[in-house]
Structure 1
Amino acid sequence: MAILTTIKSLELPDAWLVSGGVYQTVWNALTERPAGHGIKDYDIIYFDGADLSYDGEDAVINAVGTGLPLLADRLETKNQARVHLWYEKRFGRPYPPLSCSMESLTYSASRTHAVAVRLRDDGRFDIHAPFGLSNIFGMRLVLNHAFDNRQTYQEKGARMKEQWPELELVPWQTQAD
Structure 2
Amino acid sequence: MSDLEARLADIVRANPDLMHVLTTVRGLALNEWRVFSGAVYQAVWNHVTGRPAGYGIKDYDLGYFDADTSWDAEDVVIKRVAGAFEPPFCDIVEVRNQARVHLWFENRFGEPYDALPDTDTALSRFVAPAFAVGIRLEDDDSFSVAAPFGLDDMFAMVLRPNPHRSLAGGWHKAVASARDRWPELRIET
Asked if Structure 1 and Structure 2 have the same fold, meaning a TM-score greater than 0.5 normalized by the shorter chain, the answer is yes
Instruction: After TM superposition, list the pairs within 5 Å mapping 1:132-143 onto structure 2.
Output: 132-143=150-161
Aligned-residue RMSD, C-alpha: 1.2
Identity %: 44
Deviation digits for residues 16-61 of structure 1, max 9, x if unmatched?
0001100100111111111111112111000001x11111111111
SS at match of 1:23: helix
Which residue, out of 152, 156, 162, partners 1:144?
162
**Which residue number corresponds to residue 172 of structure 2?**
154
Distance 2:164 2:102 in 1: 15
Query: Partners of 1:31 and 1:91 in 2: how far apart?
Result: 31
SS in 1 for 2:145: strand
Q: Does 1:107 align with 2:125?
A: yes
Q: Which runs of 5+ in 2 are unaligned?
A: 1-18
Q: 2:73 aligns with which of 56, 59, 68?
A: 56
Q: Which moved more, 1:135-144 or 1:66-75?
A: 66-75
The count of corresponding residues between Structure 1 and Structure 2 is 170
Distance in 1, Cα, partners of 2:110 & 2:168: 14
Runs of 4+ in 1 over 4 A off after TM superposition: none
Hey, what's the Cα distance between the residues in 1 that align with 2:57 and 2:48?
A: 15
Report the 3-state secondary structure (helix = DSSP H, G, I; strand = E; otherwise coil) of the residue aligned with 2:95.
Answer: strand
Please give the alpha-carbon distance, in whole angstroms, between the structure 2 residues aligned to 1:99 and 1:82: 11
Contact 2:109 / 2:169 at 8 angstroms: preserved in 1? no
Q: Which has the higher helix share?
A: 2
Give the C-alpha shift of residue 159 in structure 1.
0.7
State the TM-score, normalized to the length of structure 2: 0.86
